[in-house]
Amino acid sequence: MDADRIAAVSENSTPRREQHVGSVLSVRGAEASFGILRRNDAAGETDGTTVGKFLAIASKNSLLIGFVTEVSVEVPEIVREQGYAGSARLELMGEIRKERHGTKFRRGVTEYPLIGDPVVTVGADALQLIFGRTGAQNIVIGRLQQEPTLAACVQVDEMLSRHFAVFGTTGVGKSSGVAVLLQQVLKARPNLRIFLLDAHNEYARCFGDQAHVVNPGNLKLPFWLFNFEELVDVIFGGRSPGVEDEFQILAELIPIAKSMYVQYQTVGSRTSAKKLDSKNTGFTVDTPVPYRLADLVSLIDDRLGKLENRSSRMKYFKLIMRIEAVSNDPRYNFMFENANVGGDTMAEVICHLFRIAPGAKPMTVMQLAGLPVEVVDSVVSVVGRMAFEFGLWSDGAFPILFFCEEAHRYASADRALGFGPTRRALSRIAKEGRKCGVFLGLASQRPAELDATIISQCSTLFVMRMANDRDQAIIRSAVSDAAASLVNLVSSLGTREVLAFGEGVSLPVRMVFADLPKDLIPSSEAVRNTHAGTTREAAHDQVDMIVARWRGASINNKNLQLEEGPVAPAAPSKAVPPSAKSVTPQPALHVSAPEHSNGAAHQQSLRASVLERSSILKKNVSLGQQASGQQSSGQQAPAQASPPRSQLPDAQDGRWPL
The total number of structural domains in the chain stands at: 4
Question: Of 446, 465, 484, which closes a domain?
Answer: 465
Specify if 6 maps to a domain: no
> Whole-angstrom Cα distance, residue 166 to residue 497?
12
What pLDDT does 221 receive? 93
Alpha helices by DSSP H, 479-581: 525-530, 536-552, 578-581
CB 277 within 8 A of CB 253: no
pLDDT tens across 59-76, in order?
888 899 998 988 988 877
Same domain, 107 and 247: no
Between these two residues, 148 and 265, which has the higher pLDDT value? Answer: 148
Give 514-534 as a DSSP string.
PP--GGGS---HHHHHHTT--
* pTM of the complete model: 0.77
Rounded to 5 degrees, φ, ψ at 13 are: -75, 155
Stronger pLDDT, 247 or 481, i.e. the higher one: 247
Q: For residue 178, tell me if it sits in a domain.
A: yes
346 phi, psi to nearest 5 deg? -60, -45
Same domain assignment for residues 216 and 351: yes
Question: Are the C-beta atoms of residues 482 and 108 closer than 8 Å to each other?
Answer: no
Which pLDDT does position 443 carry in this prediction?
Answer: 95
Q: Is residue 495, in this structure, part of any structural domain at all?
A: no
Q: Are residues 64 and 207 in the same domain?
A: no
Are residues 205 and 234 part of one domain?
no
| Shared domain check, 215 and 232 | no
What is the three-class DSSP state of 501? strand
Contact 195, 403 (CB under 8 A): yes
Angle (CA) 328-330-336 rounded to 5° is: 60
- Regarding whether 203 and 178 lie in a shared domain, the answer is yes
Q: What is the mean pLDDT of residues 353-379?
A: 91
List pLDDT tens digits, range 575-600: 444 344 343 444 333 433 444 444 45
Alpha helices in 241-309 (DSSP H): 244-267, 271-274, 293-305
350 in the same domain as 460: yes
**Residue 370 near residue 247, CB atoms below 8 Å:** no
Of 66, 94, 122, the last residue of a domain is 122
Write out the H or E segment, with its range, that includes residue 367. Answer: strand 363-367
State yes or no: pLDDT of 244 exceeds 70.
yes
Query: Hey, what amino acid is at 30?
Result: A
Dist CA 537 CA 557 (whole Å) = 31
Angle at the Cα of 495 from the Cα atoms of 491 and 501, rounded to 5 degrees:
60
Residue 450: the pLDDT is 93
Alpha carbon distance 164, 159 (integer Å): 6
Tell me the C-alpha to C-alpha distance, in Å, between residue 424 and each of 381, 388, 622: 8, 11, 48
| Residues 351 and 214 grouped into a single domain | yes
Query: Model confidence over 170-229: pLDDT tens digits?
Result: 989 999 999 999 999 999 999 999 999 999 999 999 998 999 999 988 999 999 999 999
Residues 304 and 385 both lie in one domain: no
Return the number of other C-beta atoms located less than 10 Å from residue 70's C-beta.
14
Are 446 and 365 in a shared domain? yes
26 located within any domain: yes
Based on the fold, state whether residues 279 and 353 are members of the same structural domain.
no
Helices (H) and strands (E) counted in the chain, each on its own, are 20, 20
- Indicate whether 73 belongs to any domain: yes
Give the pLDDT score at 546.
Answer: 76
Q: Residues 211, 266: one domain?
A: no
Instruction: Write down the pLDDT at residue 625.
Output: 47
Q: Does residue 610 lie in a domain region?
A: yes
Q: What value, to the nearest 5°, has the Cα angle with vertex 105 and ends 101 and 107?
A: 130
Q: Residue 521 falls within a domain, yes or no?
A: no
| 295 within a domain of the structure (yes/no) | yes
Q: Which of 301, 336, 371 is the last residue of a domain?
A: 336
Per-residue pLDDT reduced to its tens digit, 10-39: 555 544 556 888 999 999 988 899 999 887
CATH number of 356's domain: 3.40.50.300
Look at residue 44 in the predicted model and tell me its pLDDT: 47
Domain that holds residue 615: 533-571+581-630
